[in-house]
Structure 1
Amino acid sequence: MLIDFNNLNINNLSFNTEFEKKVKIFLKEWFSEIPVVDVQTSGSTGKPKIFEIEKKKMLNSAVMTCNFLGLKEGDKALLCLPVEYISGKMMVVRSQERKLKLIIAEPSLKPLEKLDEEIDFCAMTPLQVENSLDKLHLIKNLIIGGAATSESLKNKILKINLSASNRIFETYGMSETLSHIGLKQLMPESEDFFTVFENVTISLDERGCLNIYAPNVNDEELQTNDLVEIKNDNQFRFLGRIDNVINSGGAKIFPEPLEALVKKEITNEVIFTGLPDESLGQKLVLIIEGSESDEIVNKISEIPFKKSFHRPKKIIFIKEIPRTPNGKVNRLELHKLVDENI
């Protein structure tokens, strides 16, 4: 179905599928007199929680994204993310704020399967992009969020014959920043640093983790557990999450850069984690999604890790890595699953 926010009458729309009905519920909530909206966090790094967000803050966020991408009234957008989470809700709010025409597609791993026309804007998870490479040329402005974009996915995107008018960005943000506060371009030019929106201030704490002050979307200064390198007042590079750090024999190991390195060589989803070890405290373990493969093990043995302790002490193949409903790797559940099966 398609919702034209320039000529919106909710009562005249037919909401048939379960997902469309959820969109209708959110639309009624959005246009009600209640000034706040309930949002659920993904629970990828902790217990899921529900908190209230002011609608005016969501509108401010929508303005920042739409202005950054140059979206205008009458442009077409595609919603293919769950509306229980901020990612899906903000697609609706952006469409309402900029008076877009919003196509409603059931959230799935192949959200572009039935798309046969060009659209101006879409937000997807890396997994959705991975399964939609053949139709990315139909999207003029694509933002990828919910999880980091792997090196293997970036390489696949680079191999697609896209035009200069096809722009692809990786997002940085969280529920508390109302989806995202910065973007990093992947196509047509590849950037190393995220650029934050106007009126967003970034700094480091004593641990080297990112502080965010974005008064347009949140009155409080947000302290993250994300280790970053700050280039200037509005650009930073993500290094990894401090709570994912593995302490092995006194050496602090950040899994995200290692995962990016391995994904340059293999297409499988991979996660580095630490398991208890009597002598090391934690031993570095590589978890690979998929069937056990000597070929993959051999490829990993040939990877030139910068440090000897970056090489995994053990490789574990797992049928399916647990994920949250919006596609993020659930490291907590993965760690429990591995602990139970070793």
Structure 2
Amino acid sequence: MLIDFNNLNINQLSFNTEFEKKVEAFLKEWDSDGNTVQVQTSGSTGVPKIFEIEKKKMINSAVMTCNFLGLKEGDTALLCLPVEYISGKMMVVRSIERKLKLLISDPSLRLVESLEEEIDFCAMTPLQVENSLDKLHLIKNLIIGGASVSESLKNKILQMNPGVSNRIFETYGMSETLSHIALKQLMPEPEEYFTAFENVSVSLDDRGCLKIFAPNVNTEILQTNDLVEIKNDNQFKFLGRIDNVINSGGAKIFPETLEALVKKEISNEVVFIGIKDESLGQKLIVVIEGNESETLKKIISALSFEKKFHKPKEIIFINKIPRTPNGKVNRIELHKIINSLNPDS
């Protein structure tokens, strides 16, 4: 279905599918007298929770994104993210604020199969992008969030769209920042650092973790557990989450950095984790999604890791790596699965 927010009469619209009815419920919540709306966190790093967000701050966030991308009234956007989460809700709010025409598509991995005409704006998860590569040329401005974009996916994007001028960005943000507060261009010119929006500044705490001050969306300085490298007061490079850091034999290992290295060579989903080990404290292993493969084992064994202790002590294959509903790898659940395979860990 299509919702034209420049000429909206919600009573004349027909919401038929379960997803469309969720969109309808959010529109009614947004149009209510209340100053806040409820948002659910993904639960990728802990127990999912629900909290209230001010509508005014969501509008401020929408303005920042729309201004950065140059979206204007009458442009067409595609909603294909769950509206339980901030990512889906913000797509609706951006459409309301900028008076966009919003196409509603049930969230799925193969969501743009029927897309035949150009649209101006869309937000997807990496998994959705992976399954929509042949349609990316129809999206003028694409932002990818919910999980980090692997090196293999970046390469696929560039290979599928040689010379295309459409813009693709990786996002940085969280529920507390009302979706993203920084973007990193992947195409047409790949960038190494995220650039924060106007009126957003970044700094480090004494652990090397990112602190964000974005007064338009949150009056408090937001303390993250994300280890970053700061270039200046509005540009930074993500290194990994401090709670994912693996301590093996006294050495600190950033799994996200190793995952990015491996994903340059193989297309399978790859996750590095640490399991209990009597001598090392934590033993570094790599979990690969898919059937066991001697070829993949040889590729990983042959990789030139920066440090000797970066090479995994064990390679484990599983059919499916667990993910949260919005596409993030669920490391907590993955640990449980691996521990069940290694009861002594």
Task: Provide TM-score, normalisation by structure 1.
Answer: 0.99
Structure 1 stretches lacking a partner, 5+ long? none
CA distance in 2, matches of 1:154, 1:161: 11
CA distance in 1, matches of 2:64, 2:7: 23
> How far does the alpha carbon of each residue in 1:174-217 deviate from its partner, in whole angstroms, 9 at most, with x for none?
00000000000000000000000111111100000000011100
Q: Shift in Å at residue 306 of structure 1?
A: 1.1
- The corresponding residue for 2:122 is 122
> How far does the alpha carbon of each residue in 1:31-66 deviate from its partner, in whole angstroms, 9 at most, with x for none?
111000000000000110000000000000000000
Q: 1:167 touches 1:188 (CA, 8 Å); kept in 2?
A: yes
- The corresponding residue for 2:64 is 64
- The corresponding residue for 1:157 is 157
Q: Shift in Å at residue 161 of structure 1?
A: 2.7
CA distance in 1, matches of 2:96, 2:222: 27
Q: Secondary structure of 1:159's match?
A: helix
CA distance in 1, matches of 2:259, 2:170: 17
Q: Percent identity?
A: 79
Q: Shift in Å at residue 92 of structure 1?
A: 0.1
CA distance in 1, matches of 2:164, 2:277: 51
Letter in 1 for 2:266: I
Aligned length: 342
- The corresponding residue for 2:271 is 271
- The corresponding residue for 2:315 is 315
> 2:200 matched to 1:200?
yes
CA distance in 1, matches of 2:278, 2:93: 52
CA distance in 2, matches of 1:336, 1:131: 28
Q: Shift in Å at residue 164 of structure 1?
A: 4.5
- The corresponding residue for 1:282 is 282
Q: Shift in Å at residue 152 of structure 1?
A: 0.3
Letter in 2 for 1:104: I
Q: 2:137 touches 2:164 (CA, 8 Å); kept in 1?
A: no
Q: Shift in Å at residue 160 of structure 1?
A: 1.5
> How far does the alpha carbon of each residue in 1:275-317 deviate from its partner, in whole angstroms, 9 at most, with x for none?
0000000000000000000011011111011111000000100
- The corresponding residue for 1:20 is 20
What aligned pairs does 1:189-338 form with structure 2 within 5 A after superposition? 189-338=189-338
What aligned pairs does 1:95-174 form with structure 2 within 5 A after superposition? 95-174=95-174
Q: Secondary structure of 1:334's match?
A: helix
- The corresponding residue for 2:5 is 5
Q: Shift in Å at residue 165 of structure 1?
A: 3.0
Segment of structure 1 superposing worse, 153-162 or 218-227? 153-162
- The corresponding residue for 2:34 is 34
For the aligned residues, what is the CA RMSD? Answer: 0.7
CA distance in 2, matches of 1:163, 1:247: 43
Letter in 1 for 2:171: T
Q: Shift in Å at residue 163 of structure 1?
A: 4.5
Q: Shift in Å at residue 249 of structure 1?
A: 0.3
Letter in 2 for 1:196: A
Letter in 1 for 2:209: C
CA distance in 2, matches of 1:225, 1:232: 19
CA distance in 1, matches of 2:222, 2:110: 34
Structure 2 stretches lacking a partner, 5+ long? none
Q: 1:137 touches 1:163 (CA, 8 Å); kept in 2?
A: no
